Amino acid sequence: MSELLLKVEDLQTAFFTRQGVIKAVDGVSFHVRDGETVGIVGESGCGKTVTGLSILRLLPEPAGRIIGGKIIFQGVNLVELSKNHMRAYRGKMISMILQDPMTSLNPVFPIGDQIAESVRLHQGLPDDMIQPEVISALRLLKIPAPEMRLNDYPFQLSGGMRQRVVGAIAMSCHPRLLIADEPTTALDATIQAQYIALFKDIQQKTNVGIIFITHDFGVVAKMCHRVCVMYAGKIVETAPTSVIFKAPRHPYTVALINSVPRLDRKDERLYSIEGQPPSMANLPPGCRFCPRCSAAQDICRKQQPPEVKISDDHSVSCWRIS
């Protein structure tokens, strides 16, 4: 088994707004090993993006704050680091890819400069060593003719190419952990497939650990080794990818997988989950999924379910299991 890279324990992140405190992430625990891809899957608003930003400590200030838990990266609790120490981790040890390639590159600087900036900052190389390093980052992302691309501005590139440049920035300083927030959602199907294949290849070459945040089960299946399913600020089920698809235990996971049409079979009628996710400002007291759950019991409405380990790497938070 490979080394433990990141361990998140009981992470709680809240937003302090004029309208009150909103706990976007409420007691989330998971871990990532070297060379492993962990998927965080959920619908919009479940707190998956906030989880990713919490690890980098880049919550929107001053509203967002981590109010509890530990984020242990290679033995160091990131929550306790000073601002300057934390900054030294960003881009160097932990990197992130954002969802929309059209807005995540600075429109007024050539892409070469945007990559070089990271390299210069974190690697302390002499000036003449920077450009080869930038080109090798572009090459790692399989950007054709990288030498020719250095002076291009973002708007001159297609969405797929931009997302590769974002990837090149992320990988330019050889990070150990990469947080990818819906990196393929904005891309077309065949480009998406390219990108996923590319990152599997990069992972093999560099042994980087990846947290893959997405709402798309198809992408999860292709990319991830393990999956955490999030609902309304909590992880409801964690399991290896094949277990999630073949033997899901939480009613939400089951319903979600059954409500997504499949390409490999003919569905006569899809299962549909009634209702919609709860508002984070107004959560039900018991299990957060119980208002939409077809198997809800009395206890589900009153008390939050504990996390139960079914096997070594499969745990579920549901009263029916315990």
Q: Which of residues 51-110 bind another protein (CB under 8 A)?
A: 53, 56, 58-60, 62-64, 87-92, 95-96, 98, 100, 103-109
Whether the bond between 62 and the residue before it is cis, its omega within 30 degrees of 0, is: yes
Task: Pick between residue 142 and residue 308 the one whose CB is nearest to another protein.
Answer: 142
Minimum distance from residue 303 beta carbon to another protein (Å) = 23
In DSSP notation, 203-264 reads: HHHH--EEEEEES-HHHHHHH-SEEEEEETTEEEEEEEHHHHHHS--SHHHHHHHHHS--SS
Cα–Cα distances (Å) from 132 to 120, 136, 212, in that order, read: 12, 6, 29
Cβ proximity of 252 and 320 under 8 Å: no
Task: Pick between residue 113 and residue 307 the one whose CB is nearest to another protein.
Answer: 113
**Residue 235: what residue type?**
I
Q: How far is residue 289's CA from residue 17's CA, in Å, rounded to a whole number?
A: 25
Nearest in space to 177 (alpha carbons), one of 270, 72, 287? 72
Minimum distance from residue 246 beta carbon to another protein (Å) = 8
Residue among 1, 19, 127, 128 that touches another protein (CB under 8 A): 19
Q: How far is residue 171's CA from residue 26's CA, in Å, rounded to a whole number?
A: 30
Residue among 218, 296, 301, 308 that touches another protein (CB under 8 A): 218
Is residue 139 part of the contact set for another protein (CB under 8 A)? no
Is residue 161 part of the contact set for another protein (CB under 8 A)? yes
Residue among 4, 7, 29, 43 that touches another protein (CB under 8 A): 43
Cβ proximity of 234 and 253 under 8 Å: no
Q: How far is CA 159 from the centre of its chain?
A: 20
Task: Pick between residue 90 and residue 249 the one whose CB is nearest to another protein.
Answer: 90
Task: Pick between residue 167 and residue 286 the one whose CB is nearest to another protein.
Answer: 167
Task: Pick between residue 27 and residue 308 the one whose CB is nearest to another protein.
Answer: 27
Count CA within 13 A, CB hemisphere, residue 248: 19
Candidate segments 66-74, 220-228, 298-306, 312-320, binder of another protein by CB under 8 A: 220-228
Minimum distance from residue 160 beta carbon to another protein (Å) = 6
Is residue 316 part of the contact set for another protein (CB under 8 A)? no
By CB under 8 A, the residues from 226 to 285 that bind another protein are 233, 241-242, 245, 255-256, 259-264, 266-267, 269-274, 276-277, 279-282
Is residue 225 part of the contact set for another protein (CB under 8 A)? yes
Minimum distance from residue 88 beta carbon to another protein (Å) = 7
In DSSP notation, 90-130 reads: BTTTEEEE-S-TTTSS-TTS-HHHHHHHHHHHHH---HHHH
Number of amino acids touching another protein (CB under 8 A): 95
By CB under 8 A, the residues from 162 to 201 that bind another protein are 166, 169-170, 188-194, 197
Q: How far is CA 118 from the centre of its chain?
A: 21
Q: What are the residues facing 237 on neighbouring strands?
A: 229, 316
Is residue 148 part of the contact set for another protein (CB under 8 A)? no
